Structure 1
Amino acid sequence: MGARAITQVQEPSASPSGHPFTLIILPFPCYSELVCNRVMAGAHRDGSFVVIHASRYILHKFASVFFAPSRPGAVASAVVWLQTISILGGLLAPVITSHINSLLSLLHLHRHKLQESQQTSIWSHCSTISGANCFDSYVFINGWDNTTHSAAYYVDKDEAQRLSLAYVDKDARAIIGYNQTALRSSVRLESIERYDPGTLIIADFHHTPYVCASWPAFWMYGQDWPSHGEIDIFEGWNDNTRGRATLHTTPGCSHDPAGIQTGKVLQETCDTSVNYNAGCTVEDSTTDFYGPTLSNNGGAVLVAMYTNSEVSIWRWQRKDVPQDIQNEVPCPETWPSPTATWKSGASCDIPQKFGPQNLVINIAIVRFTTRWFQLAGIYDPLLVFV
C-alpha cells in the first residue's frame, strides 16, 4: 500500500539548557528495527515563553518484508510519531496576580517522505508547518469553557490573534497566551487528527503552573464523550505538590488492582457519574512531577501509552529518562513500572470504553463558585493547560 505522510521537526539550534522539548506519539509498541533519524527539538526560554517543536511521523509498510515487528504477534500497520514539546511558562491565577502571562510557543514542523532504512517503510513529505501557519494544525475552540465550568472564554483564531493570545513573534515562534482580566479570554487548541489505540505519547515539560486557582493539564478525549473516554495524562491544581493521571468513562470501568504501578489510587471507579466526575485517579508517588519541584529540576518527561490492552502513564526526571527514548526508539517493555496503569479486562474493557482520541491544550480559569469546591481534597479550582 502507499506511504502516508509523516511530520518531522526542522532541526533548530540547541537550547540554552541543552535539553530538548519533546512529545512523541507512536502507535503500536516499540519496533526495535526502527532506527529513526535523530530530530533535535531545541528548547528556548525567554521570560515566560515556551518554545514548542512538533514533529509527527506516519509510517506504513509497502510489503511485509519491509517491516518486521520486534514483538511476537504485533501487527505491522501504521506508526504515528508526533514529536512536539509542551507547555512552559509561569502561570499565576487572577486572584493572586495579574502581571504574568502564560505563553506557549510553537516552532517549525515539517512533513517528509524519506527512506528510513532498508528494513522499514518510506516516510512521505506532506507539508511544512512553521511560524504563521502553525496554528492551522489545530482547531481553535470558541465559546465558554463548559468542560470545567471555568471563567475562561475560548476565542477563535481571529480573536486570539487580535488580542495577541495567538501570534508569531519576530523569531518565528508561535505564541499562545491568555488574557489577564477577571473573566479571561483564552485559547483551547484541539488536534485536527484523532489517535487510535496503539499510541505512545512522550512529552517533555520544562515548567508547569502551581499556584492557587491554577490547573495545568494535558489530555485526550473521544469525540462522543464520555462514551469514547478521556485520558488525563497530566494535571494538577493550586499549589499541590503531586501530579495526577485519570481516566473518565461511562459506567463499568475501574482501576485494576492487579496492575503494577508506583502511584497511589485515589478513586477506583472511572464512571463520570460518580463523585462529580472525579474519575479513576492515580496520584504521583513523589513531588518530582508537579509544581515547584518539577520546575526547579528543569522539567520532567511524561509518557502515556494507549493500547487496546492498557493505558499506562510514566514520569521521569530528565536525568532518569531511558536511553531508548533519548535515542528516539522508545521500547516501553523495557521501562520500569509506570506511575499509573489501567489494564483491559474484567475491571475495564478498554476497546469498549475508549475510541479515537483528540489531543487538547488549553488554559482555563475555574470559577470559585464552581462545583469543584465540593470535591474537597480531590479537586480544587484552578487554571488549565489541557
Structure 2
Amino acid sequence: MYTSSVLALASFAIPSLAAYQPVWNYNASNFWDNFNFIDSADIFTRGFAQYVGIDEALSSGLAKINNGKVRLGVDSKNTYSATSSGRKSIRLQSWGNFDNGLLVADFAHVPVQGCGMWPAFWVYQGERPITPGAYSEIDILENVNVHTANTHSFYTAEKCTIDIQKGNLVPEKSTNCHWESNGPSSQGCSFNAEDGTFNQPFNDQYKVIALQVESERMRIWHFKKNEVPADLNSANPNPDAWTKTPTVHITPKSCDFHKAFQRFHIIINITFCGSWAGDDFNNTNYAGQCAKRTATNDCKSWVGNHPSDFANTYFEFNSIKLFQRA
C-alpha cells in the first residue's frame, strides 16, 4: 500500500527537464488495498445516500471485481423511505495523496440511468465543511441526472485567479477559483465539457480521462476509445506530444498553483438528490427535466421507490494510474 509520505515525491520541475514516471497503478489486483471505504450518511452534499463500509460493500456486491475490472455501484434491489439516510452506495478515498502529476482514469463504464443520480470521480484536499482553511478540489467526472456533458470544477481556499487557455466556463462561474463558506454563488472555476462526455454517451464513445496538475498549468483531456494516446500504455507518457486538444487548459494569473492545489486524495462516490441532483426535481437549475420525466418534484421518494432504475448506476474501472516527474 502506498502512503502519503511515499507519495510526496513531486517537485515542480520545469516540464522539459523531467519525464513522467509511474507511481500508482490501481486495478483489479490491488484496488481494495489502496482505498478506504467511507461508512456514513452523505453529509457532504446533503445527498440521499448511505455509504457502506468495505465488508458490506463486498458482501452485497456493491463493490466487486467483474471480469478483471473494478466495479463500484449502488443498491438496485431495495426500496428506501424518503425519511431514511438514503439508498446504499459507495464512497471511496485513496489512502495516498499527491501534489502534482498526471492522473489517468481508464473507465470501462460510468454511471447511467438518470433521475436522482449524482456520481463523481474527483480529487480533494480537506472536505469543505470540516477544514475550509486547507481545502482544494478538482472534479474530473461529475454531473447529475440525465445530462450528457461532463463538468469540471476547480476550488481552493487560497486566493486564486486563472487565465483560460482552453475551456468553456459554466455561465454563472468566474475565473476566480477561490472558495469560502460565505462566498458568492459564482465562486469556483467550473467548465462545461462537450456533449457526449457523461452518462450513457460516454460509455458509447469514451474510455479515458486524464488530469494534469503542475505548478505552471492544469489540463484535462477526454479520450474516445479510438484516440487514447499509445504512450499511456508505457511507463513514460508525454502529454505535450498528444495531438488531442484538452477540454480544459488553465494557467495561473494571480495564483500559486503549487500552494493552492495540493495533497489530493482520489474520491469515487455516487450520491443521490442533494443540493445539485435534487434541484432538477424542483424546477430550479435544469428546467425541471426530472420533474417532467418522473411526474414528481420529490427526488428522495423517486430514488427510494425505484431501485431498478439504478441497476446501471455504477463505475467500472480498468485502472487508475498516477505518473509524476522524476
TM-score by length of 2: 0.69
Tell me which residue corresponds to 1:317. Answer: 224
1:71 has 2:25 as partner: no
Unaligned stretches of 5+ residues in structure 1: 7-25, 31-68, 85-105, 109-128
Tell me which residue corresponds to 1:135. Answer: 32
- Quick one: which of 176, 182, 190 aligns to 1:281? 190
8 Å Cα contact 1:253-1:353 kept in structure 2: yes
1:294 counterpart SS class: helix
Structure number with higher strand proportion: 2
2:16 counterpart SS class: coil
8 Å Cα contact 2:124-2:264 kept in structure 1: yes
- Quick one: which of 196, 212, 228 aligns to 2:99? 196
Q: Could you report, residue by residue, the CA deviation over 1:117-146 in whole angstroms, capped at 9, with x for unpaired residues? A: xxxxxxxxxxxx3xxxx4232111121111
1:177 has 2:73 as partner: yes
Once the 2 structures are TM-superposed, how far is the Cα of residue 153 of structure 1 from its aligned partner? 1.1
Change (3 A) 1:233 1:354: same
Q: Could you report, residue by residue, the CA deviation over 1:132-190 in whole angstroms, capped at 9, with x for unpaired residues? A: xx423211112111121111111222333443433567x78765332233321222111
For 1:306, the aligned partner's letter is V
1:178 counterpart SS class: coil
1:208 has 2:115 as partner: no
Structure number with higher helix proportion: 2
For 2:28, the aligned partner's letter is L
Mapped to 2, the partners of 1:139 and 1:237 lie a distance apart of 24
Q: Could you report, residue by residue, the CA deviation over 1:203-225 in whole angstroms, capped at 9, with x for unpaired residues? A: 22233234222222210001364
Change (3 A) 1:384 1:173: closer
Mapped to 2, the partners of 1:384 and 1:168 lie a distance apart of 13
1:294 has 2:197 as partner: no
Report how many aligned residue pairs link the two structures: 270
8 Å Cα contact 2:155-2:188 kept in structure 1: yes
Once the 2 structures are TM-superposed, how far is the Cα of residue 359 of structure 1 from its aligned partner? 0.4
Change (3 A) 1:272 1:5: closer
Once the 2 structures are TM-superposed, how far is the Cα of residue 378 of structure 1 from its aligned partner? 11
Higher normalized contact order (CA 8 Å, seq sep 6+, divided by chain length)? 2
Q: Could you report, residue by residue, the CA deviation over 1:4-57 in whole angstroms, capped at 9, with x for unpaired residues? A: 989xxxxxxxxxxxxxxxxxxx96799xxxxxxxxxxxxxxxxxxxxxxxxxxx
For 1:107, the aligned partner's letter is A
The RMSD of aligned alpha carbons is 3.8
Change (3 A) 1:325 1:173: closer
8 Å Cα contact 2:118-2:277 kept in structure 1: no
Change (3 A) 1:228 1:351: farther
Change (3 A) 1:250 1:136: same
Unaligned stretches of 5+ residues in structure 2: 4-8, 81-85, 291-298, 304-312, 317-326
Quick check: 325-334 or 137-146, which moved more?
325-334
Identity score, percent: 26
Change (3 A) 1:290 1:195: same
8 Å Cα contact 2:109-2:315 kept in structure 1: no
1:260 has 2:165 as partner: yes
Mapped to 1, the partners of 2:54 and 2:207 lie a distance apart of 30
